[in-house]
Structure 1
Amino acid sequence: MRGLSLYPHSPDDVIERIGQRPHAVPKSADVVIIGGGIVGAASAYYLAARGLSVVLVEKDRIASHQSGRNWGFVRTQYRDPAELPLAVKALSLWPNLESTLGFPVGWRRSGCIFVAKDQEELAAFDGWLEAADGVVPDARMMTGSDVADLMPVFRAHAPGALYTPSDGQAEPSLATMAFAWAAEARGAQILEDCGATAIETANGRIEGVTTEHGFIQARVVVCAAGAASHRFLRGVGLMLPQQVVRNTVSLTAPMQPLSQACFCGFGVGLRQRGDGSCILAAESTSDIDVTLDLMRASRFFLPSFVTHRKAFAFSVGRPLLDDLHDRVSLSPEERIIEPRRQRLQVNQRRAGETARLLQTLFGGLDQVAVVKSWAGAIDVLPDALPVIDGATAVPGLIVATGFSGHGFGLGPAVGQAVADLATGAAPDVDLSPFRLDRFARGDYRRPHAPL
């Protein structure tokens, strides 16, 4: 078994800068992208590949926020049916990304399995498979004995599972940085430690982006700013009902083979890497930090919070004090940048409980040694579907945000869609379910699965 590699698991301590950064902010570009996550980096690559001049601005570092902190699943399985065509396209791109980009992304076709704890959950999986209607051809239901055959060391009693062999996994930081490196090789400029403060308009259309280090004129701006997107959009008169939940993830020491497939079930989310180490998190369980910002757009989220209240734990503490301090001491422009580095508290209790739960689910584990844990800020929208829209009320503005904790695997396809929207090409995936104005129109529904 190979030695444990910490590098692909950012978050803060192992992210490296991407080459030499330009010293001066360019005066203009065809496209300015706000946000250095996988959606921003993939958009930069595909736009630069089409010959456009591109500048990406990131207040921190590439992959330093949620794109470097997620589980690393690349799945079509159990997605909202509206999202499936985009997920299928993304899955067709992942296997060839390393040769396309020229940099490692950690792709591995490992499959994905969601194990049901009871008949009710099994029926939900079966209902999804019927609704998917062959869009994912190899997705199939498994019996309890099938689960035992696929994962011999899994010892919990399960009535069955949903399994998709063609799904896979990748390393979040590596993949995001690979897109950024490849974008640079195509001529894009990546500006780290360069926070955008406002999207600027003139005569009702996009004029450019003001950053803390200067103004960049552009006819197209892509808002891929994750949890900060609602603030940029509010500045141009657009409403995005966005909230943030905190998710704790752990990296274990290498262990015996547990599950080749990315695994969810019985309260555990698990991705076992090639070196035997595991990415481990509590399944469908997140923390909500109580701040004054929590009241914003609360009416959009209240039904889901009530329905799935067991999936959330409200926390009152340091985030509320930080929020109060920032509101008093910082200008609106400063608040859109700060905190530049995420100050996210790991839920150590949940990390420990999840490690112990893993030990009960799989046989032969004397202990589960957690090497490190980190937290990520997941930006969520009321229907848990993203916004991918180039037909906003502000001509020249493209919004690609709100992926609600499952955007990493979609990243390559979203980058291509953004490039289509920016160049006037017709995307080959229907983006109408992802329009920004669905919330203003009230044309959205409850999430397919808990946020």
Structure 2
Amino acid sequence: MRALSLYPHIPDDVMARIGHRHSAFPESADVVIVGGGIMGAATAYYLAKAGVGVVLVEKDKVAAQQSGRNWGFVRTQYRDPAELPIAVEALSLWPTLEQELSSQIAWRRTGCIFLAQSEAELAQFEQWIARVRGIPNDARMLSGREVAALMPELRVKVPGALYTSSDGQAEPGLATTAFARAAENRGAQILEDCGALAIDAAAGAVTGVQTEHGFIRSKMVICAAGAHSHHLLRKLNLFLPQQVVRSTVSLTSPAPLLSESCFCGYGLGLRQRPDGSCILAAESLSDVDVTLDSMRSARFFIPELFRNWRTFSFRLGRPFLDDLHRRLTLPKERLALEPRRPSIAPNRKRAMKNVALFQSLFANAGEVSIVKSWAGLIDVLPDALPVVDTPSAVRGLIVATGFSGHGFGLGPAVGKTVASLALGSTPNSVLKPLRLERFALGEYGRPHAPL
């Protein structure tokens, strides 16, 4: 495998490294993007490539939050059919991005495999293949014998698996910063440590963004602010039932080749990097840190919490006290900024369980140890589908948020789509299930898979 150094590794080593900086604070822009994750960075790139004057504001550093903390899967496999067209488009873009962006992103087409522990789970995968009708066209079922041949280091015998050979992986932090750097090289202004306090509007249309360092006039604003999007949209009287869950991820020491494909099975998520190190996480287990904000829109999530209560661990502790302190001491307009650079504690017990599970599933994994663990705050919506929309109530506003833990791989296609909307394209039928008003109208369904 090609060498790719373990160090430094986002998120805890993230630094400002986009490039040169503009000395003057911009008074106006053709488009202002709020949020320096992969959605905002990719959108900035495609707009700058089209010659549009873009300013991206990020309260922390580019890729410092979930876009630098995720697993790095790039998959079409087992996605909700509503977002599958975007996933297919994204997969067509990933292989050429290193050349286009002139940056290493560690893209590899390694495939993706989801093991079935039971005949019932195998049937679910088969139903998905039948439902999507050949999109992607290489998704197929593997027998237990085929799984053993593909993954000789796997200790367990399984009834089968879902496998998509065209899926792949990339390094989240590298890819996100590559988009931002390429955008800046084409004229976009990237303003880190510059939080958005509010998106301003008058007479039903946006007028710009009020940041902590000043106002930027614009007739087009893109809200790609991740877990803080609901703060900004609420001030525009737009309803977004958004919550957050905490997910723990670990990086291991290098191991022999165990799974070239991105892997999910028996409760474990695994991506083996080119240097042999592994990204490990619980397949569908999350921590919910109870805060005052947890009460907001809770009714939209209660049904799924009851159905899948085993996949959530509720915790009342420091996050609740920190949230209470912020509300008592900070002006309301600054709540969208804080915590600016949150210290998100990983679940150490879960990390150790993940390593033990990893060692039990794969031969030659016994000597592998954790190099570092971290956590990220995943913004989730009740149906686990994102919002990609141009709300009619506020002209000039585009919303791209709520990717519910599976947005990284979609990033290039979302950026291209949002840039196209900002340039005047009419939303197509693919975006209809992703409109913002579905929650206010009650026109949304259950998540395709557990949150």
- Alignment TM-score > 0.5, same fold: yes
Asked if the contact 1:383–1:446 (Cα under 8 Å) also holds between the matched residues in 2, the reply is yes
Q: How does 1:146-295 map to 2 (within 5 A)?
A: 146-295=146-295
What CA distance in whole angstroms lies between the structure 2 residues aligned with 1:429 and 1:348?
A: 44
1:411 corresponds in structure 2 to 411
What CA distance in whole angstroms lies between the structure 1 residues aligned with 2:408 and 2:298?
A: 26
What displacement does 1:243 show? 0.2
What displacement does 1:12 show? 2.4
Asked if the contact 2:14–2:64 (Cα under 8 Å) also holds between the matched residues in 1, the reply is no
What displacement does 1:368 show? 2.4
What CA distance in whole angstroms lies between the structure 2 residues aligned with 1:296 and 1:351?
A: 29
Identity of aligned residues (%): 64
Letter in 1 for 2:154: F
Cα deviation 1:109-163 (Å, max 9, x = unaligned): 0000000111111111111111111111000000111100000010112110000
2:431 corresponds in structure 1 to 431
Instruction: Please state whether the residue corresponding to 2:215 is helix, strand or coil.
Output: strand
2:313 corresponds in structure 1 to 313
Asked if the contact 1:7–1:14 (Cα under 8 Å) also holds between the matched residues in 2, the reply is no
What displacement does 1:61 show? 0.2
Moved more, 21-30 or 414-423: 21-30
The two structures have a TM-score, normalised by structure 2, of: 0.98
1:387 corresponds in structure 2 to 387
Count matched residues: 451
What CA distance in whole angstroms lies between the structure 1 residues aligned with 2:241 and 2:145?
A: 44
The 1:428–1:170 alpha-carbon spacing in structure 2 relative to 1, beyond 3 Å, is: farther
The two structures have a TM-score, normalised by structure 1, of: 0.98
What CA distance in whole angstroms lies between the structure 1 residues aligned with 2:37 and 2:112?
A: 24
RMSD over aligned Cα, in angstroms? Answer: 1.2
2:88 corresponds in structure 1 to 88
What CA distance in whole angstroms lies between the structure 1 residues aligned with 2:428 and 2:299?
A: 34
Letter in 2 for 1:311: T
What CA distance in whole angstroms lies between the structure 1 residues aligned with 2:266 and 2:416?
A: 36
Asked if the contact 1:379–1:404 (Cα under 8 Å) also holds between the matched residues in 2, the reply is yes
What CA distance in whole angstroms lies between the structure 1 residues aligned with 2:9 and 2:448?
A: 29
Asked if the contact 2:14–2:61 (Cα under 8 Å) also holds between the matched residues in 1, the reply is no
Asked if the contact 1:9–1:69 (Cα under 8 Å) also holds between the matched residues in 2, the reply is no
Moved more, 85-94 or 22-31: 22-31
2:349 corresponds in structure 1 to 349
What CA distance in whole angstroms lies between the structure 1 residues aligned with 2:141 and 2:269?
A: 19
1:33 corresponds in structure 2 to 33
What displacement does 1:419 show? 0.8
Asked if the contact 1:32–1:54 (Cα under 8 Å) also holds between the matched residues in 2, the reply is yes
What displacement does 1:375 show? 0.2
What CA distance in whole angstroms lies between the structure 1 residues aligned with 2:346 and 2:352?
A: 11
Letter in 2 for 1:66: Q
What displacement does 1:21 show? 2.3
Asked if the contact 1:4–1:277 (Cα under 8 Å) also holds between the matched residues in 2, the reply is no
Asked if the contact 1:392–1:398 (Cα under 8 Å) also holds between the matched residues in 2, the reply is no
1:73 corresponds in structure 2 to 73
What CA distance in whole angstroms lies between the structure 1 residues aligned with 2:43 and 2:7?
A: 24
Q: How does 1:340-379 map to 2 (within 5 A)?
A: 340-379=340-379
Q: Which runs of 5+ in 2 are unaligned?
A: none
The 1:428–1:168 alpha-carbon spacing in structure 2 relative to 1, beyond 3 Å, is: farther
2:139 corresponds in structure 1 to 139
Instruction: Please state whether the residue corresponding to 2:244 is helix, strand or coil.
Output: strand
